[in-house]
Chains A and B, each alone.
Chain A
Amino acid sequence: MPASSLNESDLGRLGLETPISRIDRELKKLWESDEAKTRASLINLAIYTEDSSFLAADNDLLDRVAAEHACRALLILALPEAQPPRARAWIQALCRPYQGRQAVCSEQISFVLEGGDAAQVQNIVFAHLDSDLPLVVWWQADLTKNFHERFYSRIDTLIIDSARWSDPSRQFDALLAAQREATARFDVRDLAWTRSHLMRTALAGCFQDAAALQNLSKLRKLTITHLKGQRMTALLLAAWINKRLNTTLQLELVEKDSGHALQSLVLEGVGLRGEVRRDCDSSFVHVCATCGQHEHKELLPADADSDAELVNEQLSRRGGSTLYSGMLPLIQAML
């Protein structure tokens, strides 16, 4: 991508442009200039993208994530095809008020790397980590080229969003290949999987009573309504339901142009029906289960499903999800 396609107003929102060699000095100045700011950091959180149109959104996302998870934030836009090679950097403080007077701040360093290769990306990242803190990377690009063993072997948590992938099958292959490397130690957190969390939780409440549980084997059909572009999210949910029921239900996916990523889920069988529904304007999930004459209704809070909230949710959890890992072979068969 040519450098000229970068939106200067997006770059202007990244903070103070700084020569890469002076980043540490400039950060120090930033903190010294205002005694009312307290720097806090629990993790290194890097976002790697190769799409300049995500720059502004990613910048906003880091601001929202840092409000809940104090971090050293790195935003890396790599444009491997751009010429001539050039590297630029910006710094800024991400602050939130604390006790009225003070502000607690995370620091963000943003890079635009035009040209360059995997080595440049890893060098830039490794040179600007807050030492001794875990490295969490949201890799938004395809898992090719710059997703190199020397890089991912240092990652503690790898965040992906398989719903964004244009070729999920190839990407899952690349992910599994990386995980098989002896040096790989990262946990994978798939935002598409996180997006289905509220549906999975609601479903557990839907079929809680004994009569419904006895009749689960009668379930035959699964209908999932999802937002356009969230097919992968729906497939992950379907794969999980099949796995939990140890069966293969007749699956119907309904795509909508607007609304939440997952909008409804209906499980049907003779004498048994369960529905989990999230209306467009509601922050709650309606659960309704019917078993024979017995009907059970419930209202549950819906998880927020913006990218920032999904990342926050993932950062609040510890340890990898063996549940998700166990799903991967199944999902590959469904693609």
Chain B
Amino acid sequence: MLENPFQETLLSRHRAEPCTVVIFGATGDLTNRKLIPALYNIAACGDLPPQFKVVGFARREKTDEVFRAELETGNRKNSRQGHNDELWDSFAQCIHYHRSEFEDPAGYVNLKLLLDQFDQERGAPANRLFYLASAPEAFKPILEMLRATGLNEGVGGKWARVVCEKPFGKDLVSARALNEVVNATFHESDTYRIDHYLGKETAQNIMVLRFANALFEPNWNSRYIDHVQITCAENLGMEGGRGGYYDTAGALRDMVQNHLFQLLSLVAMEPPTDLSADSVRDEKVKVIRALRPLVGPEAVGKNVIRAQYTAGSVDGVPRVGYRQEDRVNPESKTEPYVALRLFIDTWRWQGVPFYIRVGKQLPKKATEISVHFKKPPQVPFATSNLIKNSENTLVIRIQPDEGIALRILCKQPGQAMNMQQVKMDFRYSNSFGKASPEAYERLLLDAMAGDATLFARRDEVENAWKFIDEIEHAWHKAANPPPMHEYPAGSWGPKEADDLLRQDGREWRLL
């Protein structure tokens, strides 16, 4: 293959080669709110591959012009860097619409003709990226049709890849079945399972923090770390009709299996041998495999607290209870809140609990990881004034207000040897005036450039489901399932979740 001598190989990231992105489910919310604004912002940064095309594939009848106009409206509302008419006009020329049912073979034959026509216009074949942004039940027919028409194979030495949106299955069986279909169509190395948490700047920074700073890694083990907390709090409920989907999933499947396990892996993984996608993912999957299984209702009841919110208020605004939410079953057994105590059975983490909590209608929106270090074995000062929770804490704020804070003890000024907690605080927004790219910008560029580091691999997904399934089984299939607890909307969760830590002599960090 001819090399372009003007491509500067010394740029910080490889510029992707000419590419066509086909979005399945292109009339959906994700395309309008996230994908097209992300591509537009990539274009605004000058990082879009030359001769780029995007094809929206969906069932509704519409023309290119109508599709572009709809996306323009969405982009004006959602673009991170605002909307420039001149740039949009140029960018919009690369957007096309292709109407077809997902199960209609003729639709895929026509799609192939369209992509071939683009290649002809370019004068050479281009790479093809198929983005599955449709409802999950459509993944299978789409993939089968792609295979049947040969669209899963690159043309003229170019690649064909697939990006799968979450949820990737709803349990181990369905994830495996989906993986079988995906891998029968695309090679695993061409499969990109997206988890947008991994595209967030602070999530990427976890590896840098751990492995580029000699300060932390020697202390990053059970000898010095008392416990780790991962919190993902949302101050919203089931607004915008989300209850319909959410009530079939719940916090454990919707958040813990993917986003929070990804964060857990980044915090707990061993240093990878290099930064290749597989080296990083090899280490991450080891963490999930090493999670001590929670088998049976007793183990689950002791270590996992599930709860539903009752009526309450958030920010002074009254909120209804979970079962009264729009499109939620009034008899629902789904949990909008879950707290877990996990153990990772490795040398590094033996005996260190990882507490995870995620919930809706909590007092504020915040995702963070806090690493709580052990107290010094002996403090040579008067212990009477040692304050509660005086251990050193490293907080990694994922969103909002991305940054890192370190809590340490200092002597208060004065004659007495009194100690006071102080916080060293690094905020991305203070130190770096430039806004970080949206997670989808980073992930789309990575998929086009062939870097799968920030995407989940098959074994990661399946091992995560394997662990989660045991808990779901205890909740929904056991004769004596652990109870569903309650908490008022606007509180920090059920009392039982506080007790989960209290029985270990710890408490949740107040965010």
Contacts and interface: CB of A to CB of B under 8 A. Distances in A.
Given A294-B123, A296-B122, A323-B10, A207 B4 contact: yes
A204 B123 contact: no
Interface in A206-250: 206-214, 216, 241, 244-246
A210 B2 contact: yes
A318 B11 CA distance: 10
Contacts of A201: 8, 15, 46
Nearest to A296: B51
Contacts of B37: none
B479 interface: no
Q: Which of B2, B17, B90, B123 has the most CB of A within 10 A?
A: B123
Interface in B6-21: 6-8, 10, 12, 15, 17-18
A40 B5 contact: no
A282 B84 CA distance: 12
A210 B119 CA distance: 11
B48 to A, nearest CB: 8
Given A209-B18, A298-B51, A204 B4 contact: yes
Contacts of B46: 198, 201, 300-301, 303
Given A209-B51, A301-B43, A40 B123 contact: no
A322 B8 CA distance: 11
B50 A301 contact: no
Interface string B132-173: 000000000000000000000000000000000000000000
Interface in A82-136: 96, 98, 104
Interface stretch (B58-66, B182-190, B195-203, B430-438): B430-438
A214 B3 CA distance: 10
A200 B8 CA distance: 8
Contacts of A98: 429-430
A40 B430 contact: yes
Interface string B234-254: 000000000000000000000
Interface in B435-453: none
A198 B45 CA distance: 11
B109 interface: no
A284 B87 contact: yes
Interface in B45-82: 45-46, 50-51
A2 to B, nearest CB: 39
B124 interface: yes
Q: Which of B6, B50, B51, B433 has the most CB of A within 10 A?
A: B6
Interface string B400-426: 000000000000000000000000000
B9 to A, nearest CB: 9
A69 B433 contact: yes
Contact of A299 (B6, B90, B123): B90
Interface string B100-114: 000000000000000
Contacts of B3: 213
Contacts of B123: 209-212, 291, 294, 296
A67 interface: yes
A28 interface: no
A114 to B, nearest CB: 34
Contacts of B434: 68, 316
A322 B6 contact: no
B366 to A, nearest CB: 15
B274 interface: no
B44 interface: yes
Contacts of B2: 210, 213-214
A200 B6 contact: yes
Given A203-B6, A204-B7, A284-B86, A209 B432 contact: no
Contact of B6 (A42, A104, A244): A244
Contacts of B432: 42, 68-70
A70 B4 contact: no
Nearest to B119: A209
A69 B2 CA distance: 39
Given A282-B86, A284-B90, A299-B90, A207 B6 contact: yes
Contacts of A316: 434
Classify chain B's interface size.
20 to 34
Nearest to B120: A294
A287 to B, nearest CB: 8
Contacts of B12: 317-318
A322 B11 CA distance: 11
A205 interface: yes
B45 A301 contact: yes
B428 to A, nearest CB: 11
B124 A210 contact: yes
Q: Which of A68, A70, A198, A204 has the most CB of B within 10 A?
A: A204
Interface in A283-326: 283-284, 287, 291, 294, 296, 298-301, 303, 316-318, 321-323
Contacts of A212: 123
Nearest to A64: B433
A38 interface: yes
A40 B6 contact: no
B87 A299 contact: yes
Contacts of A245: 5
Contact of A208 (B10, B51, B84): B51
Q: Which of A210, A211, A284, A287 has the most CB of B within 10 A?
A: A210
Contacts of A42: 431-432
A246 B5 CA distance: 9
Contacts of A205: 50-51
Contacts of A214: 2
Given A208-B18, A210-B123, A323 B8 contact: yes
A96 B433 CA distance: 9
Interface string B29-51: 00000000000000111100011
Contacts of A298: 50-51, 90
B156 to A, nearest CB: 9
Contacts of A246: 5
A40 B5 CA distance: 41
Interface in B381-412: none
Contacts of B429: 98, 104
A68 B433 contact: yes
8 contacts: A42-B431, A98-B429, A200-B6, A203-B6, A206-B50, A283-B86, A296-B50, A301-B44
Given A68-B433, A70-B430, A301-B43, 6 more contacts: A38-B430, A209-B18, A213-B2, A316-B434, A321-B10, A322-B10
What 10 A-B pairs are tightest by C-beta distance, nearest first?
A205-B50, A299-B90, A68-B433, A210-B124, A204-B6, A213-B2, A244-B5, A208-B50, A209-B123, A40-B430
